[in-house]
Structure 1
Amino acid sequence: MLQLVDVHAYYGGIHALKGLNMTVEKGEIVTLIGSNGAGKSTTLKTISGQVIPKTGKVLFHGGDITKQPPHLTALSGVAHVPEGRRIFPRLTVLENLEMGAFSVKDKKIIKDRMERVFHYFPRIKERLSQKGGTMSGGEQQMLAIGRALMSQPDLLMLDEPSMGLAPIVVEQIFEIITELNKEGMTILLVEQNAYQALQIAHRGYIIQTGEIKMAGLGKELINDDIVKEAYLA
């Protein structure tokens, strides 16, 4: 479904991604593990079109989306839930969800998609008229994922979905990620909680200073001594 081929990306003079190669197959959960500043968020931004690589290619369903504007990448089936959630704080929960389906004109389709979001996040349904910025961090994360699901993406990219959340909320988020995947959603997950991410991931990549240093099945990586020492201690 997704392939990054020898991707080099820069922030000014900083070489953020150095020849990145990775794939995501349909129906997988793939996790990207690394320390702060390793290039995890930059990878997701490069896929979604917010960062244009200097060289290399990003292929989605076999088509080249390397220099495609973010809104067209979203329309092609990629949904990006960024680090820090980035909901619209002054809009209501309902308006935030509607923004996720900005390209859909059929009100019945929007309603059906919203009901699906409520299935995963019933708490959101209780707060439709509430301003997004007044909700708790966990509720905002649920809203951010729900907004992404409103576009009915082929690929859901999640950047640090557990950051700053209480353990019980983190558990709920990971249960929902697993349920989404069981129902056919392909997921690319960047997560600070490496142990929890590798537990649910089919495959994982270890990224350091913009380069993939290790790749393997989630179960293999979680038992690897190097990974344990660096990320699971």
Structure 2
Amino acid sequence: MTVLEVNNIETYYGAIQALKGVSFQVERGEIVTLIGSNGAGKSTTLKSISGLAKVKKGAILYNGQDITNKQAHETTLMGISHVPEGRRIFANLTVKENLLMGAFSVKGKAVIEERMENVFTYFPRLKERMNQKGGTMSGGEQQMLAIGRALMMQPNLLMLDEPSMGLAPIVVEQIFEIILQLNEMGITILLVEQNAYQALSIAHRGYVIQNGEIVLTGTGKELAENEEVKEAYLA
């Protein structure tokens, strides 16, 4: 079943066209990755889906429903969680307070506590740091917190924007292992990642985006073995 269908979308920043007819789809239970260079349109694609960037043309369907240009809080309530580039945690709030912010629409203290415990099963370090302010933690811990906050809404579709950025290699391995675990638990994942090697190693399928256009698609394995992809992104 198709969870996400992006049809020929065009997105602008003022007069500058960032996306030029981007189309792709994500099936239920998949990890799909978008790879490309800086400024290619990867982050804009995620922002267009979640409602943080306005789509001028085209359509975005989520579980068959048109969500084009819905507000970000609306797409979140529908089951789409977006972990933005740069993590964007609340630096002056504690780990617990950050997680509670992620459950802004969840009713019932017991439900919220249960979800928080679920987050701690993936990220036990967050439980150890529960009363620590987010801004005082390491980059890897902040990335864990950003993902944990998104999980508080129990998303059907988790969109991750550059989760490995600025992290030490050993922490990157941990983050990607957790992404695999989340997928195995039934969460569909759309992953934007400059670390193409890591992304393609776990993705079921991938798309290469250049200058706001999808130029290549295939399974993770096919793209990892493609000579053009290897030369441009895996060298």
TM-score by length of 2: 0.98
Look up the equivalent residue of 2:4 and give its one-letter code: L
Look up the equivalent residue of 1:138 and give its one-letter code: G
Residue deviations 1:128-150 (CA, integer Å, cap 9, x gap) = 11111111100000000000000
Match of 2:205 in 1: 203
SS at match of 2:74: helix
Look up the equivalent residue of 1:135 and give its one-letter code: M
RMSD: 0.5
Match of 1:66 in 2: 68
Q: Which runs of 4+ in 1 moved over 6 A?
A: none
Match of 1:179 in 2: 181
Distance 2:112 2:24 in 1: 33
Alignment of 1:1-233 (within 5 A): 1-233=3-235
SS at match of 2:180: helix
Q: CA deviation at 1:152?
A: 0.3
Q: CA deviation at 1:229?
A: 0.5
Residue deviations 1:53-94 (CA, integer Å, cap 9, x gap) = 111001101101102111011000000000000000011100
Distance 1:219 1:67 in 2: 33
Give the fraction of aligned pairs with identical amino acids, expressed as a percent: 71
Q: CA deviation at 1:107?
A: 1.0
Distance 2:203 2:111 in 1: 31
List alignment gaps of at least 5 residues for structure 2.
none
Look up the equivalent residue of 1:127 and give its one-letter code: R
SS at match of 1:102: coil
Residue deviations 1:154-198 (CA, integer Å, cap 9, x gap) = 100000000000111000000000011111110000011101100
SS at match of 1:213: strand
Distance 1:134 1:153 in 2: 27
SS at match of 1:91: coil
Q: CA deviation at 1:105?
A: 1.6
Distance 1:76 1:184 in 2: 16
Distance 2:36 2:169 in 1: 21
SS at match of 1:54: strand
CA contact (8 A) 2:33 2:203 kept: yes
Look up the equivalent residue of 2:9 and give its one-letter code: V
CA contact (8 A) 2:48 2:69 kept: no
Distance 1:175 1:205 in 2: 21
SS at match of 1:164: coil
How many residue pairs get matched? 233
List alignment gaps of at least 5 residues for structure 1.
none
TM-score by length of 1: 0.99
SS at match of 1:96: helix
